Amino acid sequence: MVAAEGELGNGAAPGPAFLPAMWSCGGRRRRRVLAGVVVLLLAAVVLRRMNLTDLIPMRLRGRVLGLQVRDSQFLLEEKPFRIFGGSVHYFRVPREYWKDRLMKMKACGLNTLTTYVPWNLHEAARGNFDFSGNLDLQAFLRMAEEVGLWVILRPGPYICSEWDLGGLPSWLLQDPEMQLRTTYKGFTEAVDNYFDHLMPEVVHLQYKYGGPIIAVQVENEYGSYAEDPSYMTYIKMSLLSRKIVELLMTSDNTDGLAAGNVEGALATINFQKLEPGIWTYLSSVQHNMPKMVMEYWTGWFDSWGGPHNVFDAEDMVQTVKSIIKMGASINLYMFHGGTNFGFLNGALHFNEYKPTITSYDYDAVLTESGDYTSKFFKLRHLFSKILGSPLPPPPIILNKASYGAILMQQYISLWEVLPSLVEPTKSEFPLNMENLPINRGNGQAFGYTLYETVIPGGGRLSSEDHVRDRAQVFLNTQYIGLLDYNAQELLIPNGQGYRQLRLLVENCGRVNYGRNLNNQRKGLIGDISLNKTSLRNFKIYSLEMKPSFMESLRGSTPWSAVPDSAVGPAFFRGTLQVQYMPQDTFLKLEGWEKGVVFVNGRNLGRYWKIGPQETLYLPGTWLQEGHNEIIVFEERAAGRIVQSTDLPFLGSIQYVS
Ligand SMILES: *[C@@H]1O[C@H](CO)[C@@H](O)[C@H](O)[C@H]1NC(C)=O
């Protein structure tokens, strides 16, 4: 019913309404000519409206009805249908492994792939869209179709997902008034432009046009945010007006369910434990409609400094069984988690700021590196019984390699390399990273920012709670201490003459869930003071450590042998030798404190000795036969070797309760 409204916006030409006026004028001959013109015009309008090239194959395939809601069950083309879904995020898995993971999903007995779409990767710079390589969404969805999976698309624009700012681009925060996830004009204009580019990528992959997409999710867990009562209708209309024609759904956890629903979309629920009364609660929101658990949490994510969360396989399978037994549809979040490569992890900030780790193993059905778990085999057993027909054989396991110790042979300190690699921004006041006048006006999204100023003496340095999220403080090149959410003051020793005060600030990841999304600017977000006087006149160096930066670092600078006393912040370089056929491996950074690993110029992700994660997953697809360059950016205490092993270690286990 809402679709009709949407179509109005796409009308190709004025309709027949003005015809009577034309017929009434002129003589007979003129009428005939006019009639001809009108017939042509009408034909053009009809053809454009029907989009015949799409329509004919669709009708031939009998794809008219799509996924429907009929009382308490789903119908697909009039036949009862149950969604057995699993989540895999293409942006967390190397493209070369997409097929492997999807075939494993099929072999587990699932029939539907669900994926989020990360706006911050597809539009990293305002107006610059990327749907190529590992971001080739169309290729991913086509692959799902080939493997025999339907798709539920979850385009956001907000996706939560333990992903930086819930997938929203950080440049949105350049606007000091920004109100994310509302109908604030600065936000909706950006969403409109994004959807104008995203939807044409997927519209033709909808079921009714012959593709695998059977449903599309409207926003994500909005009931837990619910800052603007008009917002969900706005997002729904944004989808409809861009030719989204399949069934719409919303997805909320139990807290948000009542507030997150929008008319014209099926409400679904997210949980891990089947609490009594949950179905009655869901029914009260969506009445007698099919029950669907959009996110059945198969495991849980980890935060730096915490334990490695594990969810018992038997508990999980028993709950899945109960959900299916009561007639509900289900999506396993995650079927395969993958990795928060680079700086893309999110964070939580309720009482305490807690950044998410690099691994997104999630204790899911497949491991971070795509291996089978007991969850996989238990679920496969369950689904093969339910389906009553044999499942495709599980694809063979990909070998993991242990390439041994990689000796870090070369070194260059950040202080040495900085002046030749980065052009600083000069500013009287500290600027947060998103508002730095770099990247053609898009600011800095991720990584480190160095703030440098000159001080005439020592005293009490106060961060005024403006450090996001951690700052190492240096006097010239001497380390003084750390400022973060807890440590907000440092004593700077007195000394001779003018000295450089340097704050190397790390953005550890923006919050992806909760009410304070608008406060996720990073770097120094306001004044810092010495003896209560605000510091001024900064040189600000942006250190995003993108491939182009790593390229310059590799080529143009004098690396030296690693001195015995080497400390960070510095880059360390070594070589990983691969004899033939690169395989997956895991990098262990024993003896190192905190930093980032780069493999052949690409940012693999963060490590931190506080754990829980102790190894970084390095996909074989990032390696080549022969030499592979490993660069470690270490903030403080450097080790000498990086160990390549064939086993991951994600930390001491804690069972989630
Ligand atoms: C800050 O105060 C201390 C103690 O009074 C003093 O020694 C120091 O010189 C002051 N620093 C500056 C920059 O004025």
CA atoms within 13 A on the CB side of 29: 0
If we measure between CA atoms, which residue out of 535, 533, 464, 527 comes closest to residue 500? 535
The answer to whether 266 and 289 are in contact (CB under 8 A) is yes
User: How many residues belong to the chain?
Assistant: 657
Q: What is the dihedral of CA 557, 560, 564, 568, to 10 degrees?
A: 10
Please give the helix or strand (H or E) that residue 188 lies within, else none.
helix 185-202
Instruction: Find the catalytic residue in 145, 162, 295, 634.
Output: 295
Q: Do domains 404-412+547-655 and 429-536 have the same CATH topology?
A: yes
Count CB atoms within 10 A of the CB of residue 452.
17
Instruction: Find the catalytic residue in 162, 221, 544, 635.
Output: 221
Q: 56-65, 294-303, 323-332, 575-584: which has the minimum mean pLDDT?
A: 56-65
> Given this model, what pLDDT does residue 657 score?
78
Instruction: Give me the numbers of helices (H) and strands (E) for the chain, helices first please.
Output: 15, 36
> Given this model, what pLDDT does residue 63 score?
84
Q: How confident is the model at residue 565 (pLDDT cuts 50, 70, 90)?
A: confident
> Given this model, what pLDDT does residue 327 score?
96
Structural domain spans, the chain: 67-387, 404-412+547-655, 429-536
Q: Quote the ligand 1 centre to 109 CA distance (angstroms).
A: 70
Q: What percent of the chain has pLDDT over 70?
A: 90
> Which atom of ligand 1 is nearest to 530's Cα?
13
Q: How confident is the model at residue 400 (pLDDT cuts 50, 70, 90)?
A: very high
If we measure between CA atoms, which residue out of 97, 590, 94 comes closest to residue 342? 94
* Average pLDDT over every residue of 487-511: 96
Task: Name the residue type at position 140.
Answer: F
Task: Name the residue type at position 344.
Answer: L
Q: How confident is the model at residue 288 (pLDDT cuts 50, 70, 90)?
A: confident
Task: Name the residue type at position 91.
Answer: F
Q: Is the predicted pLDDT of residue 24 greater than 60, yes or no?
A: no
Q: What is the pLDDT of residues 522-536, one digit of tens each?
A: 999 999 999 999 999
Q: What is the pLDDT of residues 439-472, one digit of tens each?
A: 999 999 999 999 999 999 999 999 999 999 999 9
Q: Is the predicted pLDDT of residue 16 greater than 50, yes or no?
A: no
Q: How confident is the model at residue 141 (pLDDT cuts 50, 70, 90)?
A: very high
> Which atom of ligand 1 is nearest to 458's Cα?
11
Mean pLDDT of the chain, nearest integer: 92
Question: Bigger pLDDT: 142 or 555?
Answer: 142
Q: Give, using CA atoms, the residue closest to atom 12 of ligand 1.
A: 457
Q: How confident is the model at residue 28 (pLDDT cuts 50, 70, 90)?
A: low
Indicate the pairing of strand 266-271 with strand 292-297: parallel
Q: Quote the ligand 1 centre to 457 CA distance (angstroms).
A: 6
Q: Is the predicted pLDDT of residue 374 greater than 80, yes or no?
A: yes
* Average pLDDT over every residue of 412-420: 93
Q: Quote the ligand 1 centre to 381 CA distance (angstroms).
A: 71
Q: Which CATH number fits domain 429-536: 3.40.50.261, 3.40.50.1780, 3.40.30.10, 2.60.120.260?
A: 2.60.120.260
Question: Bigger pLDDT: 379 or 1?
Answer: 379
Q: Is the CB of 459 under 6 A from ligand 1?
A: yes
Q: What percent of the chain has pLDDT over 90?
A: 87
> Given this model, what pLDDT does residue 287 score?
86
Q: How confident is the model at residue 558 (pLDDT cuts 50, 70, 90)?
A: confident
Q: What is the pLDDT of residues 313-346, one digit of tens each?
A: 999 999 999 999 999 999 999 999 999 999 999 9
- 295 is annotated as an active-site residue: yes
Q: Is the predicted pLDDT of residue 10 greater than 70, yes or no?
A: no
CATH number of 404-412+547-655: 2.60.120.260
CATH architecture observed for domain 67-387: Alpha-Beta Barrel (3.20)
